[in-house]
């Protein structure tokens, strides 16, 4: 019996050892293949090397994790091949991928990286008239093999018989512009604006793109990837978004601004909602400054709207030190004097100066959103008040536009 028990123990230890080695391999970033495709400005090849927003962000994650990897470890290849390899092969990751319901359970995800807008592209002087996505059923629409555009069209009621698949961008645009095999292309808006230049086309050849759907882009890992590695990547990406450097903007903001990837984004927030939040916060600070600041920093309602997290209050003192912030407590206590947004505007100094000079006003700048990825145009309303602790504060809230 003792011999059988020993054999069982050895077997268990062997199994545990195998599982440990498997987890180590599936959780070691250095053993992964990182695959991407030509989709500027997110990811593209430049002089044989991967480049773009998602590449810069991924390289930043590597550095934060202390992993000796860089863009030389990233391969720009055919999307369909990269997608199938990531789907079937452990230790692989593909980017940038749209996280659709159909794909959600097939991969493990880190992100979001940035917003993605699917649009219908057509020639300016062509026959296409679109008021609804289903109007695409009157035409043939081209997509790239393996792209999420296919499922997006099908989900929005476009018939499969009206969708033509092409292997790459060059063939896709040629089918529209030269061969006239199709009347529309379903593709990403940001990619279209850059791709047409590289293919030798001009923007005035095309009509105003018609929005099909707005989504976000992610890093997609093979489903066997260790959860610990996924958590580490997600944590570092989050910190790249939220941590402000000594110059006042995050690493994430700098990267998006480097590629001029600044979005217009309606958030459902009205000027009245912003002004009401500032007035409410100002009144509460005047009644009980200590308790109100504590609640703001906790992200409590009404200082952060539970239904629309893009609406939140934040407070500066007159030296441009962040006294309270309902969305990012990491900023509290830090001085932002002389520190610009990602585009170089010292908007915080302008807010405080405007409040000291005029009492109230509005200031425009670029900033990230708490409810989705990307860098957006924002406008903030501010108001100078004297709180119950006799300290002067500038109370703020904003909306994206």
Q: Is 320 helix (H, G, I), strand (E, B) or coil?
A: coil
Closest CA relative to residue 119, chosen from 153, 93, 92, 144: 153
Domain locations along the chain: 27-114+216-261, 117-215, 263-400
Measured at the CA of 232, the angle between CA 229 and CA 236, to 5 degrees, comes to: 145
Lowest mean pLDDT among 151-155, 352-356, 396-400: 151-155
CATH superfamily, with its number, for domain 117-215? Periplasmic binding protein-like II (3.40.190.10)
pLDDT band for position 156 (cuts 50, 70, 90): very high
Say which residues have a Cβ less than 8 Å from residue 82's Cβ, sequence separation at least 6. Answer: 35, 36, 37, 75, 94
User: 294 vs 80, which has greater pLDDT?
Assistant: 294
Q: Tell me, what's the pLDDT at 264?
A: 64
Beta-bridge partners for 214? 117
Q: What digits encode the pLDDT tens for the residues 289-330?
A: 999 999 999 999 999 999 999 999 999 999 999 999 999 999
Q: Class for domain 263-400, per CATH?
A: alpha beta
8 Å CB contact between 71 and 112: no
Q: Tell me, what's the pLDDT at 350?
A: 97
8 Å CB contact between 68 and 74: no
8 Å CB contact between 278 and 381: yes
8 Å CB contact between 374 and 114: yes
Lowest mean pLDDT among 97-111, 142-156, 161-175, 193-207: 193-207
Please determine whether the domains at 27-114+216-261 and 117-215 fall in the same fold group of CATH.
Answer: yes
pLDDT band for position 342 (cuts 50, 70, 90): confident
Rounded alpha-carbon distances, angstroms, from residue 119 to 125, 142, 188, 190, 238: 18, 12, 6, 10, 28
Q: Is 203 left (phi over 0), alpha (psi -120 to 50) or beta?
A: alpha
CATH node for 27-114+216-261: 3.40.190.10
């Amino acid at each position: 019996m003792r011999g059988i028990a020993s054999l069982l123990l050895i077997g268990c230890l062997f199994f545990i050892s195998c599982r440990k080695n498997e987890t180590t391999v599936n959780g070691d970033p250095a053993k992964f293949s990182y695959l991407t495709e030509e989709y500027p400005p997110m990811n593209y090849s430049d002089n044989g090397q991967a480049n773009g927003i998602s590449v810069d962000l991924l390289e930043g994650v590597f550095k934060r994790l202390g992993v000796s990897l860089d863009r030389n470890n990233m391969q720009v290849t055919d999307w369909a091949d990269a997608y199938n390899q990531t789907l079937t092969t452990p230790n692989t990751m593909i980017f940038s991928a749209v996280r659709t319901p159909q794909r959600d359970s097939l991969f493990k995800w880190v992100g979001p990286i940035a917003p993605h807008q699917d649009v219908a592209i057509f020639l300016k002087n062509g026959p296409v008239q679109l008021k609804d996505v289903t109007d695409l059923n009157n035409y043939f629409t081209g997509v790239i093999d393996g792209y999420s555009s296919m499922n997006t069209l099908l989900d929005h009621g476009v018939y499969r018989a009206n969708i033509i698949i092409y292997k790459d961008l060059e063939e896709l645009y040629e089918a529209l512009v030269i061969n006239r095999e199709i009347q529309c292309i379903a593709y990403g808006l940001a990619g279209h604006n850059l791709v047409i230049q590289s293919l030798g086309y001009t923007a005035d050849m095309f009509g105003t793109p018609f929005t099909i759907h707005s989504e976000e882009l992610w890093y997609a890992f093979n489903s066997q990837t260790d959860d610990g590695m996924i958590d580490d990547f997600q944590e570092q990406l989050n910190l790249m978004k939220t941590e402000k450097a000594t110059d006042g903007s995050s690493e994430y903001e700098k990267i998006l601004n480097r590629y001029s990837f600044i979005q217009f984004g309606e958030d459902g927030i009205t000027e009245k909602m912003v002004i009401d939040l500032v007035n409410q916060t100002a009144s509460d600070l005047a009644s009980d400054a200590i308790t109100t600041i504590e609640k703001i920093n906790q992200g409590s309602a009404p200082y952060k709207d539970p239904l629309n997290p893009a609406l939140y209050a934040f407070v500066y003192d007159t030296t441009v030190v962040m006294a309270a912030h309902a969305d990012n407590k990491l900023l509290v206590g830090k001085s932002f004097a002389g520190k610009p947004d990602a585009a170089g505007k010292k908007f915080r100094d302008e807010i405080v100066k405007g409040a000291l000079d005029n009492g109230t006003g509005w200031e425009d700048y670029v900033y990230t959103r708490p409810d989705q990825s990307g860098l957006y145009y924002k406008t903030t309303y501010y108001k100078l008040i004297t709180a119950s602790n006799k300290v002067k504060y500038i109370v703020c809230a904003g909306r994206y536009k």
